[in-house]
A = this chain, B = another copy of it.
Amino acid sequence: MITSDPQLRARMLLEALPYIRRFHGAVIVIKYGGNVLSDADRSLTELAEDVALIRSVGMRPVVVHGGGPQIDELADRLALRPAFIDGLRVTDAEMLAVVRMALLGTVNPAIVTALGSQGAPAVGLSGMDGSLAVASRVSPELGYVGAVSTVNPQVLTDLLATSAIPVVASLGVDVSGQILNVNADSFAAALAVALKATKLIFLTNVAGLLEHLDDPGSLIAEVDVAHAQRLIESGQIRGGMIPKVTAALGAALGGVERVHLIDGTVPHSLLLELLTDEGVGTMIVGGTQ
């Protein structure tokens, strides 16, 4: 038993009521990072618990994932050397095979079975299924790296009409049938826009955006698009966070009401964000000033 005070238990359940009602039937796209996954089973089990709960109270979660660490590990075993240009993985044919195997053969089934163990029927997908994510190549130097150009959400909307939870690996397919490696953050944003999601939540390994990069106390609870762009311009958002925030801004501008950056390393941060009065991390809202 968690607490000896039954009244406390009851009040906590009741606190969730308005959120359950507000988000009933809402599509919630959750980007789950490979970094978060790599710190192993505990995090994955907690994610599965949270996603299973929000599904069982009537929300319609869609989990999107990449798998950088898993790709790196397999590449290493196969003696391939990763290379990056502007944070995007150079992906030749051999590396693409590694990406496919890591995402579809390792990360995706791990999430699907973790959800299954929570009693939640999950279905693993990728952008190739039902031509969900049609992509085109970004640049010759990057090889088989693509950006999503068209989302055909039918396979997802069909699944969401059942009780299943889609778990989608960030691969796309071009018009010739060639599989392409797609950045998972922008992949999640593209799906969220196409699904007219109510929320897009990035589970990251930082607390959120900071007004001043060197001041952990300057966490920003809510930010609009213009403000976020200024933070990028002024250098307060840097490095790997730039593409993530750029993807988030794209979703906000594309009509996703609320985009969240929350700390996936905090246990059950997803649940706290969705079902309690406590906001966690940073929320980006659409509109410009």
Residues of A within 8 A of B (CB): 1-3, 6-18, 20-21, 24, 49-50, 52-53, 56-58, 74, 77-78, 97, 100-106, 108-109, 112-114, 116-119, 121-126, 128-131, 154-155, 158-159, 162, 164, 171, 173, 176-179, 267-268, 271-272, 275-278, 280
Residue in B closest to A7 when the chains form the complex, CB atoms: B267
Tell me which residues across on chain B come within 8 A of A280, comparing CB atoms: 6
- Would you call B275 and A13 a contact (CB within 8 A)? yes
A176 touching B117, Cβ below 8 Å: yes
Residue of B nearest to A110 (CB): B179
What are 10 A-B pairs at a CB distance below 8 A?
A: A2-B12, A9-B15, A13-B13, A14-B53, A20-B56, A57-B57, A109-B126, A113-B177, A124-B125, A154-B162
| Chain B residues with CB below 8 A from A6, complex form | 268, 272, 276, 278, 280
Q: How far apart sit A164 and B13, CA to CA, in the bound complex (Å)?
A: 21
Interchain nearest-CB distance for A170 vs B (Å) = 13
Judging by beta carbons under 8 Å apart, are A21 and B56 in contact?
yes
Complex Cα gap A200–B281 (Å)? 43
For A164, what are the chain B residues with a Cβ–Cβ distance below 8 Å?
130, 155, 158
- Judging by beta carbons under 8 Å apart, are A10 and B177 in contact? no
Q: Assuming the A-B contacts A57-B58, A109-B104, A112-B128, are A119 and B8 also in contact, with contact meaning beta carbons closer than 8 angstroms in the complex?
A: no
Q: A106's contact among B1, B16, B97, by CB below 8 Å, is which?
A: B97
Whether B56 contacts A74 by the Cβ 8 Å rule is: no
The prevalent SS among residues of A at the interface is: helix
Bound complex: CA of A271 vs CA of B11, how far in Å? Answer: 10
User: Are the C-beta atoms of A17 and B56 separated by less than 8 Å?
Assistant: yes
Q: Are B12 and A12 in contact, CB atoms less than 8 angstroms apart?
A: yes
A173-B113 contact in complex given A13-B53, A78-B77, A278-B1, C-beta closer than 8 Å: yes
Cβ–Cβ contact A3 & B8, under 8 A: yes
The CA-CA distance from A275 to B57 in the complex, in Å, is 12
Contacting residues, chain B, for A58 (C-beta < 8 A): 56-58
Contacts A14-B268, A276-B9 given; does A108 touch B112 at CB 8 Å: no
Chain B residues with CB under 8 Å of A130's CB are 116, 121-123, 164
Which residues of chain B are within 8 angstroms of A178 by Cβ–Cβ distance?
113
CA distance A177 to B114 in the complex (A): 7
Q: Which of B11, B114, B154, B177 contacts A2 (CB 8 A)?
A: B11
